[in-house]
Amino acid sequence: MSRAWKLGAAVDTDQIVPGAVMKYGLDVIARHCLEGVRPEFAGGVQRGDVIVAGPDFGIGSSREQAAAVLVQLGVVAVIAPSYGGLYFRNAFNVGLLLLTCPRAEEIADGERIAFDARAGTVTRENGAVLACEPIPGFLLDMIEAGGLLNQLKTRLKSRTEKP
């Protein structure tokens, strides 16, 4: 079961990672993640937690750190009704699962939920099942591989190992 951190609508990339800390590495960025929205998040988030957000999560910049920082902090999925398109691509590339769930906002802050990416479901603490939009198979493979970098490693390795 994953604990939900609830956020509002249109949480943009600059709120997830403020521009002022973009010059640092992910370890420093992680300490400032979402500091203007939920100051207790960076210190309180635990491995296995999920973010539940309103529509248009991740709109704005192409800065991939806005997805990678959540992986760094141990967040295993984001559940929201919609995402910024660029953020959607970035998230899968760095191994962060995004579930597009029209009824995400029914989930309460701190609620324990379960999810199944291939089945496209989120199960609430009270047993209610929320449907998610299907995710193309090659993107689910990317999540299972831990992101595009790992997939490229496998691809280049198999290329060099061919006789």
Alpha-carbon torsion angle 6, 7, 8, 11, nearest 10: -160
Residues that bind other proteins (CB under 8 A): 10, 12, 14-15, 18-20, 22-24, 36, 55-56, 59-64, 67, 82, 84-86, 88-90, 93-94, 136, 138, 147-149, 152-153, 156
Q: Least distance in Å: CB of 64 to other proteins?
A: 3
CB 132 within 8 A of CB 101: yes
CB of 126 to other proteins, least distance (A): 30
- Whole-number minimum distance, CB 34 to other proteins, in Å? 12
Residue closer to other proteins by CB (options 1, 28) is 28
Instruction: Report how far residue 96's alpha carbon sits from residue 140's, in angstroms, rounded to the nearest whole number.
Output: 10
Question: Exposed/middle/buried for 141, CB within 10 Å: 0-12, 13-18, 19+?
Answer: exposed
